[in-house]
Chains A and B, each alone.
Chain A
């Protein structure tokens, strides 16, 4: 299903104002499913397999939300969106949230009218070149042609980087990630640039992935996270704390394997997290066992990372910054209290 910005904008002008007042959570409950805007096909983040089942870390996040609300991770409808269409889709209420490897930036948080619910993946922008080009640093990329995707922070970082290093370049800008990698493979461009995680994923699409290398320079901060519209704080809280729940669960060693055993734990913080004590959950209109549901159906942060982009996946991306704060990374969730 592919919809255009124009349609989404029409929705923004026609969609009934009455519905705009209703809380997103009530809409979701009435509808019986979450509408989750995802990437159109990015290995590790959101990609349908040959049977049409969606896989990826962004996909699993929406499943976790469905598990928390409905106790059923399948109650999600995934809408693949291009980078260009995604914001209009969220603004026009075509989706309840974007979980679409989207970088948290100031203008998106304010001017576009969104709230970022946290960071599910700390990424950075990098460059991929052909090994035959004999380049070892991004500073040698002067006078190159660079392929990139329209409407991304990538496009802007690229301009900043070459400008600040006084290097000449030509940017060829495409609409979809597929068009970008095709143009790069055909030789239209010397350089392919996007977030490093995405480079790993796109490299797998090339005929000979080994003939291409990723340069060591990382030119930007790309905190990727789920985002919702302004104007519904309850829904914003649910999305935000679902992400924190998955991080906290990993920190307290609550995984799909250890869940049953941890449910018997005496530790007060674990009891609070799992809803055995307190009313964490009812606070935002969910049940107290919502985290138990998330872990049972989807798993904790470490599990979804490993399964989709880490060692357990084809991408095998090192966890790096995405390790928990007490393991040398910067993933950190506020406490439950």
Chain B
């Protein structure tokens, strides 16, 4: 075979039409535009700040705050700095979001599966729930729980009482708080170590099962590590327990553990609202598993529980997880609606009270945006890792 010389006609065209040049030019222009806008923002902000003589910087963080906050996960009083107020607000936001994600997931999965139930009533009830919850504005739902439900509870003196020690009134839910003596830290450390060991053990057992096909019973050892060992240490070290009971004193209850109504209203509204969306995602995920898969599993003689556990759920999760991530992000960002009912979240405490008392609008809003952005990215990151683990691996 001989080479046939091919005469290539060199296309003569202007360099403007060359794709490489073109895309480079467009990209350079885009970058220049972004830089220009950035510079413009920087310059006008600087100018405005100078003409109005507003001091800028982050020194305000170390000033005594002088206000109090109704729910604090770490101790906080008027003598503490704005930096600590920021932390209190951030923790409150994270706390309500984390619990919200947990409850929304549980309710969402139950409702989503329930909607596919053979039982007509359960299916319709779950369908009704989704349609009702999804189609009402979230702010309205928060205000409903707060002003129409929780505020309608009786005052502290007329509280509903359960088991003599749990009180429910319009100031929230009060319950006895266990107070542990010295050494509880060691007990907690033992329990934590137990959990860690159990996880490692389960992973090893799983690998053994994959290699040999023999399943090992691990749960008795887990029980021993997580429950029995800490209990043993607890009694061995004679860690005492006292109970701090709520007591009506004057206007309010003193002592005990109290869940404030703002928190409850927000948590209920966020979880039920997001659950409505998660339910639909779960339903879609399950329906996305081809019928043939179920039939094949049944043909292999798998029990219904094994069928769900080994065939349906793993495949459904691949469809469920990506949109589920957006719902978690939504819930987290929606938690900032807390400000409308006086729940002391990051927006209320930091972008509200702190901003107003210090006047550092640009710094504070910048930090607040950054915090929401970073946490959202972390949630996405974690969910992406999970997604990658359950994704279809083609071998």
Contact = CB atoms under 8 A, between A and B. Distances in A.
Interface of A: 5-6, 8-9, 12-17, 20-21, 83-84, 87-88, 91-92, 107-108, 111-113, 133, 141-145, 150-152, 155-156, 159-160, 163, 168-175, 179, 182-183, 186-188, 190, 229-231
Given A13-B41, A20-B48, A112-B359, A188 B171 contact: yes
B51 A156 contact: no
Given A5-B355, A15-B48, A159-B78, A183 B151 contact: yes
A188 B149 CA distance: 12
B117 interface: no
B191 to A, nearest CB: 33
Given A142-B250, A173-B70, A182 B147 contact: yes
Contact of B66 (A108, A156, A229, A231): A156
Interface string B305-320: 0000000000000000
Nearest to A88: B361
Shortest 9 CB-CB contacts between residues of A and residues of B: A151-B356, A112-B359, A186-B151, A17-B47, A113-B54, A113-B52, A144-B251, A17-B44, A13-B45
26 contacts: A5-B355, A8-B361, A12-B49, A12-B361, A13-B48, A13-B362, A84-B355, A91-B361, A108-B359, A112-B54, A112-B359, A113-B359, A141-B251, A143-B251, A145-B171, A151-B355, A156-B357, A170-B68, A172-B262, A173-B70, A175-B340, A182-B147, A183-B151, A186-B147, A186-B151, A188-B151
Given A112-B359, A150-B348, A183-B151, A172 B70 contact: yes
A12 B251 contact: no
Contacts of B128: none
Given A5-B355, A175-B340, A186-B170, 8 more contacts: A12-B362, A13-B362, A15-B48, A17-B48, A87-B356, A150-B356, A151-B357, A179-B342
A17 B41 CA distance: 10
Interface of B: 41, 43-45, 47-49, 51-55, 66-70, 78, 147, 151-152, 155, 170-171, 249-252, 254, 261-262, 339-342, 344, 348, 351-353, 355-359, 361-362, 365
A88 to B, nearest CB: 5
A9 B48 contact: no
Given A17-B43, A190-B251, A230-B53, A12 B48 contact: yes
B365 A14 contact: no
Nearest to B43: A17
A5 B348 contact: no
Of the listed residues A9, A20, A173, the one surrounded by the most CB atoms of chain B closer than 10 A to its CB is: A173
Contacts of B70: 170-173
B353 A150 contact: yes
B367 to A, nearest CB: 12
Contact of B351 (A5, A15, A17): A5
A145 B45 CA distance: 41
Contacts of B365: 5-6, 9
A5 B359 contact: no
B151 A14 contact: no
Contacts of B67: 155-156, 159, 171
B340 to A, nearest CB: 7
A280 to B, nearest CB: 29
**Interface class of chain A by DSSP:** mixed
Of the listed residues A13, A152, A171, the one surrounded by the most CB atoms of chain B closer than 10 A to its CB is: A13
A84 B246 CA distance: 35
Contact of B362 (A9, A108, A156, A160): A9
A231 B352 contact: no
Contact of A172 (B49, B342, B356, B362): B342
A21 B50 CA distance: 11
B254 to A, nearest CB: 6
A15 B44 CA distance: 7
B262 to A, nearest CB: 7
A91 B50 CA distance: 12
A160 B66 contact: yes
A251 to B, nearest CB: 34
A305 B361 CA distance: 34
B151 A187 contact: yes
Contact of B252 (A8, A13, A15, A144): A144
A143 B353 contact: no
B269 to A, nearest CB: 16
A159 B251 CA distance: 18
A208 B55 CA distance: 47
A335 B345 CA distance: 50
Contact of A107 (B45, B249, B359): B359
A94 B54 CA distance: 16
Contacts of B262: 172
B361 A5 contact: yes
A123 to B, nearest CB: 18
Contacts of B342: 172-175, 179, 183
B362 A145 contact: no
Contacts of B171: 145, 188
Contacts of B49: 12
A151 to B, nearest CB: 3
Contacts of A152: 356
A133 B156 CA distance: 12
Given A20-B51, A144-B251, A150-B348, A91 B66 contact: no
B355 A14 contact: no
Given A13-B45, A133-B251, A143-B252, A187 B170 contact: yes
Contacts of B249: 143
Contacts of B51: 20-21, 230-231
A229 B52 contact: yes
Given A17-B48, A84-B352, A151-B352, A111 B359 contact: yes
Contacts of A8: 361
Of the listed residues A170, A171, A174, the one surrounded by the most CB atoms of chain B closer than 10 A to its CB is: A170
A111 B55 contact: yes
A9 B357 contact: no
B44 to A, nearest CB: 5
A91 to B, nearest CB: 6
Contacts of A172: 70, 262, 342
Nearest to B252: A143
A12 B41 CA distance: 9
